[in-house]
A and B are shown apart, each in its own frame.
Chain A
Amino acid sequence: DTGVSQDPRHKITKRGQNVTFRCDPISEHNRLYWYRQTLGQGPEFLTYFQNEAQLEKSRLLSDRFSAERPKGSFSTLEIQRTEQGDSAMYLCASSFPGQGGYEQYFGPGTRLTVT
Chain B
Amino acid sequence: QKEVEQNSGPLSVPEGAIASLNCTYSDRGSQSFFWYRQYSGKSPELIMSIYSNGDKEDGRFTAQLNKASQYVSLLIRDSQPSDSATYLCAVRSSERFGAGTRLTVKP
Contact = CB atoms under 8 A, between A and B. Distances in A.
Q: Helix, strand, loop or mixed for chain B's interface?
A: loop
A42 B45 contact: no
A105 B46 contact: yes
Nearest to A111: B41
Interface string B30-54: 0110100000001111100101100
A42 B46 CA distance: 14
B49 A42 contact: no
Interface in B77-101: 88, 90, 92, 94-100
B35 to A, nearest CB: 11
**Most chain B C-beta atoms within 10 Å of own C-beta, residue among A45, A101, A107:** A101
Interface string B19-39: 000000000000110100000
B76 to A, nearest CB: 19
B97 A43 contact: yes
Contacts of A106: 43-45
**Contact residue range for chain A?**
20 to 34
B4 to A, nearest CB: 8
Contacts of B32: 100-102
A24 B6 CA distance: 31
A108 B100 contact: no
Interface in A5-40: 33, 35, 40
Contacts of A102: 32, 92
Nearest to B49: A103
A89 B92 CA distance: 21
Nearest to A47: B95
A27 to B, nearest CB: 18
14 contacts: A42-B4, A42-B88, A42-B97, A42-B98, A43-B44, A43-B97, A45-B96, A100-B31, A100-B32, A101-B31, A101-B32, A103-B46, A106-B43, A107-B43
Those 9 A-B pairs whose CB atoms lie nearest each other, nearest first: A101-B32, A100-B51, A42-B97, A106-B43, A45-B95, A42-B99, A43-B97, A42-B100, A109-B43
